[in-house]
Amino acid sequence: MSIIWNDNTPIYRQLRDRVVAMILDGALKPGDALPSVRQVAADFQLNPITVSKGYQELVDEQLVEKRRGLGMYVTEGARATLMKSEREHFLREEWPALFARIQRMNLDLATLIKNAATTGEKS
Amino acid sequence: MTAVVQAKGLSKRYGNTVALDNVNLDIQPGRIVGLVGPNGAGKTTALKAILGLAEFDGQLSVLGLDPRTHRTELMQQVCFIADVAVLPRWLRVSDAVDFVGGVHPRFSREKCEKLLARTKIKPTQRVRELSKGMIVQLHLALVMAIDAKLLILDEPTLGLDILYRKEFYNNLLGDYFDEQKTILVTTHQIEEIEHILTDLLFIKEGKIVLDATMDDVGERFAEVMVNPDKADAARALKPIYERQVFGKSIFLFDGIDKARLAELGELHKPSVADLFVATMKGTYQ
């Protein structure tokens, strides 16, 4: 497998972000095992220290837990924790800009809700 | 922790040519170290000294042993794959396994056979009937089945296609390497292995010109794309390299504060290949 890593973020951080995305998507569920450090190192051609560092970030954020002798597992509360921080991030960073744009375009609440309802039906 | 390789003032001359010039090395266990340099920079000479295959001046200790006087003991803990295929062409695969099993006390026949079973190599085949990629697979299976502390790879994937090259490092990382082992590798295909490495050594004309962990490399070096109006300001900070792309200048800096560089333009982390070109400029002139 080949991935192009972007060169402005450390790779261990990008690895962490990938696992986070997989938890949010539901591709990794609470109680699921993460692949071993060795496996990830071989698959992505990374040195094992980089992989361990990425996993350690996830442990520090309590998204995964180390079970002695078994490996790393997604914690029960991982998705809820992530959702909470993602929501906060959205409201703090993205919503103000989005809201300003909505106002500039004179879109009223009723139109937005109507569109949201039809978009919801389609998906 | 004791160093796996420690060199102080390591030097080697061939007549009037200085192949190694006062080289200092300190390689710790559990690292994957890339030794990178242009052709003729002294890479192979350094590896030969470490393996006890060449005389040298200065101090060198490998796993606490002097390779000049304790080569036999050393060879129980050190494995080597060279850029030139050394397996005799008339040898049968099964004979190669028997031979290594007979001479090496730390060889696991079971592990070797398991590794070979994943390839298309058959025990009855002779080396001359194998493709270049398969010979390297055989060599790697023989070496990976030896529980050694230090593995030295000199251009191990030279002349192999990308599938064999990927598989080679995949095997090393998935089935061989752990924090008790150390790998020292030379290659010209740095971009393929830069994420595997924990440490980087650049050698130029027999001298070590860069010795840093990959984390340090990320901290120390930065590439900045600068508009013409700020190019002189960038030059004043003494970049180690400058090149032009689309009317902008790209400067490579060593050890300059990132916040200061960000004022000049967009920052990037240079690839090892970029660093290599910048460090080795003028080598062939």
3-state secondary structure of B47: helix
Average pLDDT, chain A: 88
Q: List, in order, residues 6 or more apart from B191 with CB less than 8 Å away.
A: B271, B272, B273
Question: φ and ψ at B55, to 5 degrees?
Answer: -70, 155
Work out the pLDDT band at B28, boundaries 50, 70, 90. Answer: very high
Quote the pLDDT of residue B244: 87
What is the arithmetic mean of pLDDT over B202-218? 92
For B173, the closest of A5, A10, A38 (CB atoms) is A38
Stated length of chain B: 285
Q: What is the CATH number of domain A11-76?
A: 1.10.10.10
The shortest C-alpha distance from B198 to chain A (Å) reads 7
Burial class (CB in 10 A: 0-12, 13-18, 19+), B226: buried
Quote the pLDDT of residue A3: 66
The shortest C-alpha distance from B158 to chain A (Å) reads 18
B196 touches chain A (CB under 8 A): yes
Q: List, in order, residues 6 or more apart from B5 with CB less than 8 Å away.
A: B25, B26, B27, B50, B60, B61, B62, B150, B182, B184
User: With 90 as the cut, is the pLDDT of residue B252 above it?
Assistant: yes
Q: Tens digits of per-residue pLDDT, A9-58?
A: 889 999 999 999 999 988 999 999 999 999 999 999 999 999 999 999 99
Interfacial B residues in 7-36 facing A (CB < 8 Å)? 32
User: With 60 as the cut, is the pLDDT of residue A122 above it?
Assistant: no
Which pTM value belongs to this model? 0.83
Quote the pLDDT of residue B152: 94
User: With 50 as the cut, is the pLDDT of residue A1 above it?
Assistant: no
Q: What is the dihedral of CA B141, B142, B146, B152, to 10 degrees?
A: -90
What is the arithmetic mean of pLDDT over A91-103? 92
Q: How far apart are CA B236 and CA B238, in angstroms?
A: 5
**Cβ distance B213 to B76 under 8 Å?**
no
Q: Tens digits of per-residue pLDDT, B40-98?
A: 899 999 999 999 998 999 999 999 999 999 999 999 999 998 876 678 999 999 999 99
Which of A45, A46, A52, A53 to mutate: most B Cβ within 10 Å? A45
Pick the CATH number of B5-205 from 2.170.130.10, 3.10.50.30, 2.40.30.10, 3.40.50.300: 3.40.50.300
What is the arithmetic mean of pLDDT over B25-38? 94
Quote the pLDDT of residue B85: 66
3-state secondary structure chain A: CCCCCCCCCCHHHHHHHHHHHHHHHCCCCCCCECCCHHHHHHHHCCCHHHHHHHHHHHHHCCCEEEECCCEEEECCCHHHHHHHHHHHHHHHHHHHHHHHHHHHCCCCHHHHHHHHHHHHHHC
Q: Domain locations in chain B?
A: 5-205, 216-280
